[in-house]
Amino acid sequence: MSPMPPPRPARSAAVVAALFSLDPAGLGGIWVRAPFGPARDGFVEHVRALLPAGAAIRRVPAGIDDGRLLGGIDLAASLAAGRRVMAAGLLAEAAGGVLVLPMAERLDRALCARLAQAQEGRFGAIALDEGIGPEEHLSPALADRMAFALDAADLLARRPPARVRGLGAARRRLVRMRMDDGVAEALCHVAAQLGIFSLRPVILAMRTARAAAALAGRRSAGEEDAMLAAQLVLAHRATRLPAPAEQDMDQAPEPPPPACGDDAAPPAPPETEGEQAADRVLDAARSALPPELLAALLLGQGRRGAAGGRAAAPAAATAAHGRPLGARPGRPGREHGLALVDTLRAAAPMQALRRRERPDHPGRVIVLGSDFRVRRHQAPVRSVAIFAVDASGSSALNRLAEAKGAVQLLLADCYVRRDQVALLAFRNRGAELLLPPTAALARARRSLAALPGGGATPLASGIDAARDMALGARRRGNRPLLVLLTDGGANIGRDRQPGRAAAAADARAAASACAADGIPALLIDTAPRPNAFAAELAGVMRARYLPLPFADARALSRAIRAEQAA
Amino acid sequence: MGPYPFSAIVGQAEMKEALLIAATEPALGGVLALGDRGTGKSTAVRALAALLPAVSAVAGCRYRCDPADRRRLCPECRARRVGGRLPRERVRVPVVDLPLGATEDRVVGALDIERALADGVKAFEPGLLARANRGFLYIDEINLLEDHLVDLLLDVAASGENVVEREGLSLRHPARFVLIGSGNPEEGELRPQLLDRFGLCVEIRTPTDIGERIEVVRRRDAFEQDPAGFARRFAAAEAGLRDAIVAARRLLPMVAVAEEVLALAARLCVALGTDGLRGELTLLRAARAKAALEGEVAVTPAHLRAVAPAALRHRLRRDPLDESMAGARVDRALDEVFVA
């Protein structure tokens, strides 16, 4: 009678959709990381079909204002009716149902904070994340609150069945669902083994286990349900690989008390039933580790971004403050306040005419929606200093340590000015993002200190990567400044093949692209003696050229400040 | 469903104690909780507010004015008082969330546009500061809040009054609240000038002990399955805690600080090189609240030592890039000063 296949096929979109539809508010949401397309739309449609009749499903446009999101006074309607007319917000409308968040990787920070605040147990969210690369993704604060994650491969893996039977009965069962002893322990152990520190995922996994048991027609959630929950909720959050099963017995998370202790200590069995259950659940989770995450963990890189900062959530460039720019017609909302005087000024010439049309409003100013004027402000622009550090062997020999020191001083400078910083390093075959734009200086310093040196110099790739990042920062309304630290010894081209001549040509091309985009830049020459090629490159880039031997920290800092002031 | 009971929160001893001290001594300057996501910061604040006894307020007042505190009445209550005794009602202690991206209008309050346009009346529409009066203002991710809003909040929190001078409005109303900020420094730092405006600062970590983690998750689950039954389980503990806070507030004005404890506090601040006197004052205030919570009428060196990390760790003059935990430096100084 069970409508569900056995839990082995991990991360199946159909299973996730069915579980989520049982308790969307409790399970928080599904993070769908997939490009726009029929597979994704089909999945959202599928979830919609599974929800009980009458459950709300609402789409949140990216530019939604507070009035529409949280509800409030409907100004135009209030004026027309001459009394207070309230409008319900989208969040209230979606209570108990589902909110769909398109372009979830670009949701601004304020909106994410509001959604996270409102979400707890009130609605489920389907976040449609179209981010490309590790830098763009859903805000971690929201992702933490969503039980499930799917990516494009999961959506394509199998077409969900048109309908799932028995959901109504499962929903009724869920209300009184019990849970076997040991499920909580098992899930806690698995989370610890996978390096998941937040406790919210564990709680979400417990709710998932209950939903899974309800779907399978059981009265109590047991080990099987815990395994499914570990696969669906915990596996994709892993920040480290669990110890192999064989070693588990020797390296249990808590070493058993010494056997020769006082007589009060119970004889410690090698492994209790509960621990064995935890191991089985862990095995299930291990089998469901997404392959690309597995590869990253094997390389010891962990999951950058997802674990730490809110890399993608662009700095909110709402223009609710800053230098005033004057009024223009529009709707007052989160971004623009109503400019009262300008509104009345706009309404004034029409008064005689309007009074004739509305004799029921004698002696009052009649203001219509079309009269509204809103204040506009110039949003303060944030500077983002992008440090691209040449960490190649020649540079390491020369003065990587000194370059690091210079960057550190500059970082302290940025801290004082509240600039954001980003850190890129290039060596061997390519450029690596060490730190997406952030205001957290401690992290910048740590990534810098941990930066190893050695290998060839893919200068062109480094410049290209820095340019991409600068353009991204500009798209988000920030002002980028590129600081390139190199000794000019380019020897790897864009095609990743060694060869000095080609590498130099490519570096020149990359530099001129920067100049064409008008990205302000500084080139700090880290060679022992000023390097002719580095100086030439600075010319092509239209960058200020600073040879390190002559540039002490103070001069560097002055140069950056001058560049940013420009 | 009521909030999760305060006494059912597992671990997080330092945060719980800081909140209790702030509830006992609201003039302390609030609590800043720095640390990981999903550690129950918001749960703790809500639970604390639910625990506190209801307060007496002027019935129908938009600012929940305290009828006993005549000097701080809002303009409306002052006008009503001329006509006779103010009606009273019991109200719960409010917890107001300040969302990231809130505009100044919503925080401070603004001209009531609807009434201005419809009736031609210049009326004030209170903002979040008014709603938080006599309660808690909770700001998650305060480190990501716009700087000008943080300035404004700290200013109001320190003066206990919201002064509105904008859009042709000119008024002031009481806004006394305990500011609770939380944030993860990994995601952006709080401006150093603002750090020391907070009374206490606690560092929160997700529990790493597996037993503790299991207990957190178990209790949360038990609460979700049967909120009423769970609340009953902790009712006695909650009542005990409430009584302790009420008694401590009464006792607080009588708690004495001996000369030697004052000297100890001064030595500690000198050893740590904290700027200004704010650190010393907060340290003593927090120690007095701690003594009052324990039902004692004199501050002992032990009280001082217990509150010193939270009262001082965010006041150390620091190199922004120096990562050694401030807590460790306070501990070292404590060991030195208390041995001497």
Predicted confidence band at A115 (pLDDT cuts at 50, 70, 90)?
Answer: confident
Smallest CA–CA distance, residue A327 to chain B, in Å, is: 15
**What does the pLDDT read at residue B283?**
92
Q: Is the pLDDT of residue B303 over 60?
A: yes
Lowest mean pLDDT among A442-456, B236-250, B323-337: B323-337
Q: How far apart, in whole angstroms, are the C-alpha atoms of residue A421 and residue A446?
A: 13
Q: How far apart, in whole angstroms, are the C-alpha atoms of residue B151 and residue B285?
A: 23
Contact map slice: B 226-255 vs A, CB within 8 A: none
By Cβ distance, the residue of A111, A187, A411 closest to B321 is A411
Indicate which residue of B78, B213, B278, B305 is catalytic.
Answer: B278
Q: What share of chain B is helix, strand, coil (3-state, %, to 5)?
A: 50, 15, 30
pLDDT tens-digit map of A461-516: 889 899 988 888 887 778 888 888 888 888 888 777 788 888 888 888 888 888 88
Instruction: Give contacts of B36 with chain A, Cβ < 8 Å.
Output: 197-198
Q: Is the pLDDT of residue A262 over 70?
A: no
User: What average pLDDT does this structure show over B317-339?
Assistant: 67
| A174 contact partners, CB below 8 Å, separation of at least 6 | A22, A23, A210, A211, A214
Instruction: Give contacts of B220 with chain A, Cβ < 8 Å.
Output: 199, 203
Based on the residue annotation, tell me whether B166 is a catalytic residue of this protein: no
Q: Is the pLDDT of residue A301 over 50?
A: no
- The percent of residues in chain A predicted with pLDDT above 70, rounded, is 73
User: What average pLDDT does this structure show over A243-254?
Assistant: 44
**What does the pLDDT read at residue A236?**
85
Say how many residues make up chain A.
566
Phi, psi of A65 (to 5 degrees): -100, 170
Fold classified for A383-565: Rossmann fold (3.40.50)
Contact status of A302 with chain B (Cβ, < 8 Å) = no
> DSSP secondary-structure letter at A381?
P
Q: Is the pLDDT of residue B19 over 60?
A: yes
Whether residue B120 and residue A365 make contact (CB cut-off 8 A), yes or no, is yes
- To test the contact with chain B by mutation, choose from A79, A115, A117 the residue with the greatest count of B C-beta atoms within 10 A, namely A117
By Cβ distance, the residue of A82, A201, A440 closest to B118 is A82
**What does the pLDDT read at residue B241?**
92
Whether residue B100 and residue A73 make contact (CB cut-off 8 A), yes or no, is no
**What does the pLDDT read at residue A10?**
43
E strands, B154-308, are: 161-166, 169-174, 177-183, 200-204, 256-257, 298-299
Q: Is the pLDDT of residue B60 over 70?
A: yes
**What does the pLDDT read at residue A253?**
40
Contact status of B275 with chain A (Cβ, < 8 Å) = no
- Strand-pair category, A148-151 with A178-179: unpaired
> DSSP secondary-structure letter at B115?
H
Instruction: Give contacts of B321 with chain A, Cβ < 8 Å.
Output: 408, 411-412, 415, 441-442, 445
Instruction: Give contacts of B319 with chain A, Cβ < 8 Å.
Output: 412
Q: Is the pLDDT of residue B320 over 60?
A: no
Contact status of B103 with chain A (Cβ, < 8 Å) = yes
Smallest CA–CA distance, residue B150 to chain A, in Å, is: 14
Lowest mean pLDDT among A17-21, A511-515, B67-71, B200-204: B67-71
Contact status of B37 with chain A (Cβ, < 8 Å) = yes
Lowest mean pLDDT among A47-56, A259-268, A443-452, B53-62: A259-268
Contact status of A122 with chain B (Cβ, < 8 Å) = no
Contact status of A140 with chain B (Cβ, < 8 Å) = yes
User: What average pLDDT does this structure show over A385-408?
Assistant: 75
Residue B54 amino acid letter: A
Whether residue B38 and residue A198 make contact (CB cut-off 8 A), yes or no, is yes
- To test the contact with chain A by mutation, choose from B103, B206, B223 the residue with the greatest count of A C-beta atoms within 10 A, namely B103
Q: How far apart, in whole angstroms, are the C-alpha atoms of residue B41 and residue B204?
A: 9
By Cβ distance, the residue of A192, A203, A340 closest to B210 is A192
By Cβ distance, the residue of B106, B114, B210 closest to A254 is B210
Q: Is the pLDDT of residue B17 over 90?
A: yes
User: What average pLDDT does this structure show over B323-332?
Assistant: 67
Lowest mean pLDDT among A1-10, A262-271, B13-22, B231-240: A1-10
Contact status of A509 with chain B (Cβ, < 8 Å) = no
**What does the pLDDT read at residue A4?**
39
Contact status of A364 with chain B (Cβ, < 8 Å) = yes
Whether residue A117 and residue B38 make contact (CB cut-off 8 A), yes or no, is no
Q: Is the pLDDT of residue B263 over 60?
A: yes
Smallest CA–CA distance, residue A147 to chain B, in Å, is: 14
Whether residue B101 and residue A337 make contact (CB cut-off 8 A), yes or no, is no
- Domain positions in chain A are 1-62+88-164, 167-242+276-303, 328-375, 383-565
Whether residue B103 and residue A188 make contact (CB cut-off 8 A), yes or no, is no
pLDDT tens-digit map of A118-142: 777 788 999 998 877 666 778 888 8
pLDDT tens-digit map of A148-165: 988 887 777 656 565 677
Please provide the DSSP assignment of A353-368 as one string: HHHHH-TTSTTS----
By Cβ distance, the residue of A113, A188, A364 closest to B214 is A188
Whether residue A415 and residue B321 make contact (CB cut-off 8 A), yes or no, is yes
Scan for tokens 């402000």, then name that residue.
Answer: A377
Contact status of A103 with chain B (Cβ, < 8 Å) = no
Within 10 A of A359 (CB to CB), how many other CB atoms are there?
7
Scan for tokens 């104690």, then name that residue.
Answer: B17
**Torsion sign over Cα A21, A24, A26, A29:** positive
Helix (H) or strand (E) holding A184: helix A183-193
Q: Is the pLDDT of residue B250 over 60?
A: yes
Smallest CA–CA distance, residue A34 to chain B, in Å, is: 26
- The pLDDT mean for chain A works out to 75
Whether residue A337 and residue B103 make contact (CB cut-off 8 A), yes or no, is yes
User: What average pLDDT does this structure show over B158-176?
Assistant: 83
pLDDT tens-digit map of A541-564: 888 887 776 556 666 667 766 776
| A162 contact partners, CB below 8 Å, separation of at least 6 | A49
**What does the pLDDT read at residue A205?**
93
Contact map slice: B 138-167 vs A, CB within 8 A: 140-141, 144, 146-148, 167
Residue B19 amino acid letter: L
**Which long-range contacts link A114-118 to residues 24+ away (Cβ below 8 Å)?**
A114/A66, A114/A69, A114/A70, A114/B99, A114/B100, A114/B101, A115/A60, A115/A142, A116/A141, A116/A142, A116/A145, A117/B97, A117/B99, A117/B140, A118/A91
**What does the pLDDT read at residue A176?**
84
Contact status of B99 with chain A (Cβ, < 8 Å) = yes
Q: How far apart, in whole angstroms, are the C-alpha atoms of residue A52 and residue A353?
A: 52
pLDDT tens-digit map of A9-43: 445 788 888 899 999 988 999 999 888 888 888 88
**Torsion sign over Cα A538, A539, A542, A548:** positive
Q: Which span out of A314-318, B142-146, B324-328 was modeled with the highest average pLDDT?
A: B142-146
Contact status of A127 with chain B (Cβ, < 8 Å) = no
**What does the pLDDT read at residue A314?**
36
Whether residue B187 and residue A309 make contact (CB cut-off 8 A), yes or no, is yes
What ipTM does the predicted assembly reach? 0.77
Fold classified for A1-62+88-164: Rossmann fold (3.40.50)
Q: Is the pLDDT of residue B305 over 70?
A: yes
pLDDT tens-digit map of B80-97: 887 777 888 888 888 888
**What does the pLDDT read at residue A374?**
79
Lowest mean pLDDT among A70-84, A337-351, A364-378, B84-98: A70-84
Predicted confidence band at A380 (pLDDT cuts at 50, 70, 90)?
Answer: low
Contact map slice: A 197-216 vs B, CB within 8 A: 197-203, 206-207
Smallest CA–CA distance, residue B37 to chain A, in Å, is: 6
Contact indicator for B51, B238 with CB cutoff of 8 Å: yes
- Between A413 and B207, name the one with better pLDDT: B207
Smallest CA–CA distance, residue B116 to chain A, in Å, is: 9
By Cβ distance, the residue of B103, B120, B218 closest to A364 is B120
Contact map slice: A 406-425 vs B, CB within 8 A: 408, 411-412, 415-416, 418
* Alpha helices, H only, B176-256: 192-195, 210-225, 227-233, 235-251
**What does the pLDDT read at residue B188?**
65
Contact status of B324 with chain A (Cβ, < 8 Å) = no
Predicted confidence band at B158 (pLDDT cuts at 50, 70, 90)?
Answer: confident
pTM of whole model > 0.80? no
Contact map slice: A 146-185 vs B, CB within 8 A: 179, 184-185
> DSSP secondary-structure letter at B85?
P
Would you say the CATH fold of A383-565 matches that of A167-242+276-303? no
CATH number of A167-242+276-303: 1.10.8.80
By Cβ distance, the residue of A113, A200, A206 closest to B221 is A206
By Cβ distance, the residue of A144, A199, A418 closest to B216 is A199
Whether residue B211 and residue A254 make contact (CB cut-off 8 A), yes or no, is yes
User: What average pLDDT does this structure show over A457-464?
Assistant: 88
Distances (CA, A) of A439 to A34, A308, B47, B113: 29, 13, 32, 37
Instruction: Give contacts of B37 with chain A, Cβ < 8 Å.
Output: 140-141, 144, 198, 200
Whether residue A75 and residue B210 make contact (CB cut-off 8 A), yes or no, is no
Q: Is the pLDDT of residue B324 over 60?
A: no
Residue A446 amino acid letter: R
- To test the contact with chain B by mutation, choose from A111, A119, A188, A344 the residue with the greatest count of B C-beta atoms within 10 A, namely A188
Q: How far apart, in whole angstroms, are the C-alpha atoms of residue A528 and residue A525?
A: 9
Distance, CA of A432 to chain centre: 19
